[in-house]
Structure 1
Amino acid sequence: MFVTGAAAALTLGSVSFSRGPAEAAENTETRTVRGTLPTGGPDFAYLPLEIPDGIREIKVAYTYDKPSVPAGTAGNALDIGIFDNRGTELGGKGFRGWSGGARTEFFIRADDATPGYIPGPVREGTWHIVLGPYTVAPQGLDYEVTITLTYGEQGEAVEPTYPPERAKGRGRAWYRGDCHLHSWYSDGRRTPAEIAALAREAGLDFINSSDHNTHSAHPHWADVAGDDLLVMLGEEVTTRNGHVLALGVEPGTFIDWRYRARDNRFGRFARQIRRSGGLVVPAHPHATCVGCNWKFGFDEADAVEVWNGPWTPDDEVALADWDGTLVASVRDKGRGWIPAMGNSDAHRSPDPVGSPQTVVLADDLTREAIQEGIRAGRSYVAESKNVSLTFTASGGRAEQAGIGERLEVGMDTPVTVRLEVSGAPRCTVRLVTDQGVLFTSAPLPVSGSGVVEWRTTPSYAAYVRAELRHEAAVGPLPGALAAFTNPIFLGRS
């Protein structure tokens, strides 16, 4: 074995196959490789496979040991994927699939593949199994990989079909969506059809496919899209220093994930996401799971996922951190601001799809229009379809601005901020500015509907955004969010 590349990947000894009389009789050939990965080693180890001509199917199975470790110490977790004869170059065309730690075996044929993997020709040449030691116990990680080749004529490849980029919209309107969802094509447990059914139940107009480190699900959404549901295609790019949603890329786009923040490569792949028609959205930036905390900065972000799944303390930190970026944007004139979103990150039952959901003002129900609404910050986040908001700011001469917009008035012009709410029983309204929380309402009635007005000036509040909070569970801490908006900026730019 030897170490190669700027990202310090480990390359193992190659595995060769030579079809003999016994294998010919059964039409298969099997090799088993065993080894140990040390603690503190590279993020990825590559096992080269010398694949001969005439192979119909590659099947890979693997196991690894899980020894006892002291409390507070990470145990063993080993991910797996594969690259074909086109190579393992970062961002190259050789990627053929990734299942992370969700599966213990997979196969690839021309006409079919395990979910997470890309069907296609099994060509002669050097393939590479990639092993990703996510965490390694102090004892090291002992693994065993078994590769089985099946000889024979390859099946006929199926031409992929993809969902349309347009659904039957309502013209310029508010559309509800969930852009962070996992199917059985990565570590989820739901089929695209099951996810689509739950999306419709949740009142969603659009969703985004975001399986971990693979685009293998892209061709499998066409049958579940419809006039009432726009399905955008993407990937959750899952690095060791944070996760980012590639939201609404061109069908079949693969975004690489084999780098850390110190490798200075994220910008290259963020630009690839945008060239492919997608948005760059860091996901759950303050999540506490291993490798989930976002360390790449936000210079490349088109939006940020502030609310991820059930409201938890890391979402509260993400909200406060995002609010700090708004303050910086008004302090540093000309600096752009980053809109916020919320998504469910649903994987399996009982994870609810569409909780939370991002509600976007878009010109129509198309990929491009939805992305433009998200990019412009014309959106709010709600815990469910039951919650609806109308949030505006108006000046003295009938000037008006909505969420994500700027009210162009003088610094001392009186401004009226108005929030209309439905579907939020006993929630409290908080209006937050660059000065902090400047208004807190009494709880809304049990009907969940109400109107709140507040008056200010641009010299006092450079922006204002609204939060709907449930009743607090503990002392002075704020309650969980029911909804929040992107800001309205006040004053001339």
Structure 2
Amino acid sequence: MITQTRNSAPPASDQALQGTAMLARGKAMTQQQALQSGKTGKADLHMHSTYSDGCATIQQILDHVQHNTDLDVIAITDHDVIEGALRARDLWEKGSYRFDFIVGEEITTKEGHLLGLFIEHRIPSGLSMERSIDLIHEQGGLAVIAHPLHRLFRHSCQRSVMDRIHAAKDVWFDGVETWNASFCGIYANRHAMVVNRSVYGLPELGNSDAHSLSAVGRGCTWFAGKTAQEIRANITAGQTAPGGTFWDMQAYVQWVRYLMSKEGRQGRRQHAELLSFEQQAELA
């Protein structure tokens, strides 16, 4: 078990130069601003494959990132499973990819979705936010809030939960996704930026939440460096910034067609059966 302690915040002067303090309260970072501030690294740390409800296979995602994006680091974060991300890392290690890779999971807690990054073992769904964070930290991973503060989306972490964790002494978030390129962010992104910058001061990430290939990279995290360990260091130091655009119509059409297809229905059924089996095993 890896023991981890809460990281102290970076000096305000450093954060003003390197993090989001240089931005207006409700604005994401543009590519020009990123380059001017030395953030030449571009990451997308939230996307889904056919191991949960995405419509692209692991191999298709790796190939697409390699040939059709300028991303330097990616993470695959399927819903409540880690097998796809582990499979992706195996393929990535055997290949000659120009980008770096992080194993992740999007965890369904009792109070919203949570990204676990730099983990090795699945975090069970249905736990409290505090317990889910603890299990991520016990693996030496980072706990990042996914698409928070959306009033209508039931899997969005709300203000009361963020307040509770913020006030706690022994549990903490390592970052917050303030730019989500999917429908989850259309209302909530600006609100999340304003609230985080005025109240919580958490390191900010931008991600695509891609469920189709055309959405990969639509949201991004700007950072100084090019590698997985460098973006981790940037997150820890509060020096990342969110950026990107929203999904285009093609991304929605691709995803909906997949969900309605025989392959998509079968994939969702297999995912549900897998989760049911694992939950029963955990209770045994």
Give CA deviations for 1:447-490 in whole Å, capped at 9, x if unaligned: xxxxxxxxxxxxxxxxxxxxxxxxxxxxxxxxxxxxxxxxxxxx
Helix, strand or coil for the counterpart of 2:42?
strand
Q: 2:41·2:72 contact (CA, 8 Å) conserved in 1?
A: yes
Q: CA deviation at 1:359?
A: 1.5
Q: Is 1:237–2:107 an aligned residue pair?
A: yes
Q: Is 1:267–2:134 an aligned residue pair?
A: no
Evaluate the alpha carbon distance shift between residue 218 and residue 353 of structure 1 in structure 2; reply closer, same or farther with a 3 A threshold.
closer
Give the structure 2 partner of residue 262 of structure 1. none
Give the structure 1 partner of residue 199 of structure 2. 328
Helix, strand or coil for the counterpart of 1:346?
coil
Q: Is 1:217–2:89 an aligned residue pair?
A: no
Q: 1:343 aligns with which of 195, 207, 216?
A: 207
Q: CA deviation at 1:294?
A: 0.7
Structure with the larger RCO, 1 or 2 (CA within 8 Å, 6+ apart): 2
Helix, strand or coil for the counterpart of 1:180?
coil
Q: 1:306·1:315 contact (CA, 8 Å) conserved in 2?
A: no
Give the structure 2 partner of residue 192 of structure 1. 58
Helix, strand or coil for the counterpart of 1:176?
strand
Q: CA deviation at 1:284?
A: 0.8
Q: CA deviation at 1:199?
A: 1.8
Evaluate the alpha carbon distance shift between residue 289 and residue 197 of structure 1 in structure 2; reply closer, same or farther with a 3 A threshold.
farther
Evaluate the alpha carbon distance shift between residue 317 and residue 195 of structure 1 in structure 2; reply closer, same or farther with a 3 A threshold.
same
Q: CA deviation at 1:288?
A: 5.7
Q: 2:44·2:208 contact (CA, 8 Å) conserved in 1?
A: yes
Q: Is 1:353–2:216 an aligned residue pair?
A: yes
Identity of aligned residues (%): 27
Give CA deviations for 1:137-194 in whole Å, capped at 9, x if unaligned: xxxxxxxxxxxxxxxxxxxxxxxxxxxxxxxxxxx97321110010111111211111
Q: 1:303·1:374 contact (CA, 8 Å) conserved in 2?
A: yes
Which amino acid in 1 is paired with 2:190?
Answer: L
Q: CA deviation at 1:278?
A: 1.5
> Take 2:51 and 2:192, find their aligned partners in 1: how far apart are those partners?
32
> Take 1:313 and 1:231, find their aligned partners in 2: how far apart are those partners?
24
> Take 2:77 and 2:98, find their aligned partners in 1: how far apart are those partners?
20
Q: CA deviation at 1:227?
A: 4.7
Helix, strand or coil for the counterpart of 1:181?
coil
Higher strand share: 1
TM-score by length of 1: 0.37
> Take 1:272 and 1:219, find their aligned partners in 2: how far apart are those partners?
18
Give the structure 2 partner of residue 255 of structure 1. 123
Helix, strand or coil for the counterpart of 2:215?
coil
Give CA deviations for 1:202-246 in whole Å, capped at 9, x if unaligned: 201110110001112133112135451111001000234310100
Q: CA deviation at 1:381?
A: 2.7
Evaluate the alpha carbon distance shift between residue 189 and residue 369 of structure 1 in structure 2; reply closer, same or farther with a 3 A threshold.
same
1:90-489 to structure 2, matched below 5 A, reads: 174-200=40-66, 201-221=68-88, 222-225=90-93, 226-249=96-119, 251=120, 253-259=121-127, 265-287=128-150, 290-295=153-158, 296-297=161-162, 298-299=165-166, 300-310=172-182, 314-328=185-199, 337-348=201-212, 351-362=214-225, 365=227, 367-383=228-244
Q: CA deviation at 1:353?
A: 0.4
Helix, strand or coil for the counterpart of 1:345?
coil
> Take 1:271 and 1:313, find their aligned partners in 2: how far apart are those partners?
25
Tell me which structure has the larger Cα radius of gyration.
1
Which amino acid in 2 is paired with 1:381?
Answer: P
Evaluate the alpha carbon distance shift between residue 274 and residue 368 of structure 1 in structure 2; reply closer, same or farther with a 3 A threshold.
farther
> Take 1:314 and 1:290, find their aligned partners in 2: how far apart are those partners?
10
Give CA deviations for 1:413-460 in whole Å, capped at 9, x if unaligned: xxxxxxxxxxxxxxxxxxxxxxxxxxxxxxxxxxxxxxxxxxxxxxxx
> Take 1:288 and 1:186, find their aligned partners in 2: how far apart are those partners?
24
Which amino acid in 2 is paired with 1:346?
Answer: A
Q: CA deviation at 1:368?
A: 2.8
Q: How many residues align?
A: 195
Q: 1:178·1:356 contact (CA, 8 Å) conserved in 2?
A: yes
> Take 1:339 and 1:211, find their aligned partners in 2: how far apart are those partners?
22
Give CA deviations for 1:13-35 in whole Å, capped at 9, x if unaligned: xxxxxxxxxxxxxxxxxxxxxxx
Helix, strand or coil for the counterpart of 1:273?
helix
Shifted more, 320-329 versus 201-210: the winner is: 320-329
Cα-Cα RMSD: 2.5
TM-score by length of 2: 0.61
Q: CA deviation at 1:306?
A: 1.1
Give CA deviations for 1:58-102 in whole Å, capped at 9, x if unaligned: xxxxxxxxxxxxxxxxxxxxxxxxxxxxxxxxxxxxxxxxxxxxx
**Structure 1: tracts of 5 or more residues without a match:** 1-171, 260-264, 330-336, 385-493
> Take 1:214 and 1:377, find their aligned partners in 2: how far apart are those partners?
28
Helix, strand or coil for the counterpart of 1:338?
coil
Q: 1:309·1:356 contact (CA, 8 Å) conserved in 2?
A: yes
> Take 2:156 and 2:76, find their aligned partners in 1: how far apart are those partners?
21
Q: CA deviation at 1:314?
A: 4.5
Higher helix share: 2
